[in-house]
Amino acid sequence: MIEKYKKESKFLSLVLRHHPEAIGITLDKHGWAEVGTLIKNMKRKFPVFSLKMLEEIVATDGKQRYAFGEDGAKIRANQGHSLAVELELLPQTPPECLYHGTANRFVESILKTGILKQTRQYVHLSAAIETAIKVGSRHGKPVILKVDTARMHEQGYTFYLSANGVWLTDKVPPKFLEVVGEDRG
């Protein structure tokens, strides 16, 4: 993400994943918003907001949070919604293991209850430990949990892969978790 559009990008994430009503727009059942309406309504909060700015935010977002529709007339968040949207993802066979980064203070609870989606539609998992460390660091001292996704998949759990490479599932029971990394710094 370009630093100069940090506020706009964070607000866009809020609008497209959690609160479209914050700017008076609606998302369709698949999470898409009309680009023209989005821009018009974003201008209420950010008067200089433009299509060029939106395109730059989408293109430079390090986490690739957003996607334009095929014709460029619609936009949506790739995952992370607290709203019920159908992202049209097909079930995928996950790699043997995936990772989840969390803060140290949550580990005890997670090892008892598993990883729950909380207010989001899915639990988010990553293929790279480095990504899990970054995620865990946002909430405090990071701890990395290894998820035995091969065994979960064998036991009937469903996995999806979002457009930006985030693995999604409904929950991860504790029996599939192992603490593999903890930042003690």
* pLDDT (tens digit per residue) in 132-170: 999 889 888 899 999 999 999 999 999 999 888 899 999
Sheet containing 66-68, strands listed edge to edge, beginning at the edge strand earlier in sequence: 33-34, 74-77, 66-68
pLDDT in tens, 63-87: 888 999 999 999 999 988 888 888 8
Confidence band, pLDDT 50/70/90 cuts, at residue 100: very high
Q: What fold characterizes domain 3-77?
A: Arc Repressor Mutant, subunit A (1.10.10)
- Give the chain's largest Cα–Cα span: 52
Q: Is 182 a residue whose pLDDT tops 70?
A: no
* Gyration radius from the chain CA atoms: 18
CATH 1.10.10.970 boundaries in the chain: 3-77
In the chain, ranges of CATH 3.20.170.30 domains: 91-182
Q: Global pTM?
A: 0.76
pLDDT at position 124 is 93
> What is each CA distance from 119 to 54, 70, 181, in whole angstroms?
26, 29, 26
Question: What's the one-letter identity of residue 85?
Answer: V
Mean pLDDT of the chain: 92
CATH topology of domain 91-182: ADP-ribosylation fold (3.20.170)
